[in-house]
Structure 1
């Protein structure tokens, strides 16, 4: 879940937007995912992480892109609006960075789209400050003490309730857990999730080398205090990860032409997301990533690295 600093810096310096096709192609990809998923599961939701700039017709982004993105998504998540700036847990975001986010996120908010923010904090006081600032903005928020998102929070969720959550608009709290490797077993991991009181769980599709099953996902969709909750699966649309099932060993020796440079911050690879080869990995066959998510009965997909288009805007002329 990287890219937040790139997003802010590119917008504050005006360096993004030399090539409007890159943002248009990202909006097009998300639209294709939206159409494909909704045709197979009408209630399936899409929650984007990053790419808030796509809600503003600036730097080459078009009003048509804004309109389409608003119809593509069921929710928008961002990171570090108030805390966790520059990949530093507890670092307060500069006022201009927070102000940009508020401006961009006001666009989906005006349509009724729910907005989520994940702040990274060091202290209980920072967490309280984060929750209050997010409340004032109308964001559903989580103040995480652990950026790697690989453990259950020690603190209980805010606003625990027994209401049914059938869409992202119903969600009052959420938790993201993307690397379950610290759990002693698959069942220990699932049990910890079942016992949590969150309205929305955002999880990896896999535990180890096996995807969660439809039965396992169903058992996660009930809150222990009563009521239905949503379970979303992580899916990166802007970067490829070499530990995923789609990764081929020969790519370690020679990258295919649709793979770009390595993102050293996270170890993943930028992808030319407009290329058919990448889209075929994401959706369209029984073994494709989105299709596996759908088959497992998840309520939606958490689309990460939506701001991946900015890498190509900033390196235009070095990538093709």
Structure 2
């Protein structure tokens, strides 16, 4: 979510590498793709060990579903077994510019990997960035035809509940308790347009989305409590929804609770360059124990806070950070 999720398509093809290839990054040598797979698998094992129904959904970096990082490669079974779906941004709209069709070559490239995940029984959640009503309608129709569940986001900041179309695509009054039941979703991780948590909760519970992707924290820095997350699971029509927490694992964010005032690139050594498109977000050597301990595996970890707050899963972002290290 923090930047256009993929590099130029030609560079993607050039950067695809097998598990035998390595990259150098100063003080270590690592297979960037496999290190990210291992990170996600560890997150999954930890969270499902606490709650077997907890959902793990990586966003972007779809090449990881292939053992070679290429669409012709065999499915990476260990990785696919660890996840419950894949999120993909910009599939039909927004790859080069918001509200602009994604080039057909890019669509086909991404779909070739999404097919590996879908064929493995995983839910595909697509976020297209388009604001023209006709394009939003087309986005929903194209994704549905491909067998994906989608959200047409009118703002890349993901800070609004769209009023187009006037009804939720594939709206239903079902009790949704598992990913395979999800027919639509709302991606709203920036609550700045809501003055209070109560206003946010009231706005969400007035909708009938099957799944909500949101942040653990409100814009005032306070965590949503388990009681508040339980409230958000209620749809207006009497059904139930899943509530999933956003979690960036490929970048460190200087507005999060874990950030230390002295931190900057190379201090500590696992923090790398600032993302020029999203100030305050820094690439991290995500395979380092220090970073992974922040994310999961202990009572003080970010993931444990998400689990304690009664979220139904985690939406893992900046999975495609491996591109930076290739």
CA distance in 2, matches of 1:107, 1:253: 36
- Displacement after TM superposition at 1:60 (Å): 8.0
Whether the 8 Å contact between 2:264 and 2:271 is mirrored in structure 1 is no
> Is the Cα contact below 8 Å between 1:55 and 1:70 reproduced in 2?
yes
Q: Which of 183, 188, 199 is the equivalent residue of 1:177? A: 188
Residues 64 and 30 from structure 1, CA distance in 2 versus in 1: closer, same or farther, beyond 3 angstroms?
A: farther
Structure 1 position 286 matched with structure 2 position 299: yes
Q: Is the 8 A contact 2:57 2:86 kept in 1?
A: yes
Distance across 1 between alignment mates of 2:74 and 2:262: 40
- Structure 2 counterpart of 1:110: 119
Partner secondary structure for residue 207 of structure 2: coil
CA contact 1:172–1:199 (8 Å) conserved in 2:
yes
Q: Provide structure 1 residue ranges, at least 5 long, that are not aligned to the other structure.
A: 314-320
Report if the CA contact (8 A) 2:275-2:283 is conserved. Answer: yes
Aligned CA distance change for structure 1 residues 65 and 27 (closer, same or farther; 3 Å): farther
Q: Which residue of 1 aligns with 2:215?
A: 204
Deviations 1:34-67 (A, max 9, x none): 1000110111001110111112344589968711
Secondary structure of 1:131's aligned partner: helix
* 3-state SS of paired residue (2:7): helix
Deviation at 1:226, TM superposition (A): 1.5
In 2, distance between residues paired with 1:224 and 1:16?
45
Secondary structure in 2 matching 1:5 = coil
Q: Alignment partner of 1:83: what SS?
A: coil
Conserved? CA contact 1:54–1:61, under 8 Å: no
The answer on 1:152 being equivalent to 2:161 is: yes
**Corresponding residue number in structure 2 for 1:318:** none
**Among residues 280, 302, 309, which one is paired with 1:296 in the alignment?**
309
Provide the rounded CA distance (Å) in 1 between the counterparts of 2:198 and 2:9.
39
Contact 2:6 2:12 survives alignment (8 Å): no
TM-score (norm 1): 0.92
- Does the 8 Å contact 2:71/2:112 carry over to 1? no
The answer as to 2:144 corresponding to 1:138 is no
Say whether the 8 Å CA contact 1:3–1:305 is kept in structure 2.
Answer: no
Conserved 8 A contact 2:87-2:126:
yes
Aligned partner of residue 248 in structure 1, secondary structure: coil
- Residue-by-residue CA offset, 1:200-235 (whole Å, 9 max, x unaligned): 000000012111100000011111102221000010
TM-score w.r.t. structure 2 length?
0.90
Contact kept in structure 2, 1:120 and 1:147, CA below 8 Å: yes
2:135 counterpart residue number: 126
Cα contact 1:24–1:61 (8 A) shared by 2: no
SS of aligned partner of 1:166: coil
1:100 paired to 2:109: yes
Point out where structure 2 has 5 or more consecutive residues left out of the alignment. 23-29
Give the equivalent residue in structure 1 for 2:25.
none
Is the CA contact 1:3–1:50 (under 8 Å) kept in the aligned structure 2? Answer: no
**Which of 13, 27, 30 matches 2:37?**
27
User: Structure 1 residues 253 and 141, CA, compared in 2 at 3 Å: closer, same or farther?
Assistant: closer
Describe how 1:68-83 pairs up with structure 2 within 5 A.
Answer: 68-83=78-93
Q: Does 1:236 align with 2:248?
A: yes
Q: CA shift at 1:153, angstroms?
A: 1.6
Match of 1:316 in 2: none
Show the 5 A alignment for 1:47-58. 47-58=57-68
Q: Distance in 1 between matches of 2:74 and 2:225?
A: 38
Q: Which of 143, 159, 165 is residue 176 of structure 2 equivalent to?
A: 165
Match of 2:289 among 273, 276, 288: 276
Distance 1:61 1:252, change over 3 A: same
**Which residue of the partner structure matches residue 317 of structure 1?**
none
Distance 1:192 1:144 in 2: 17
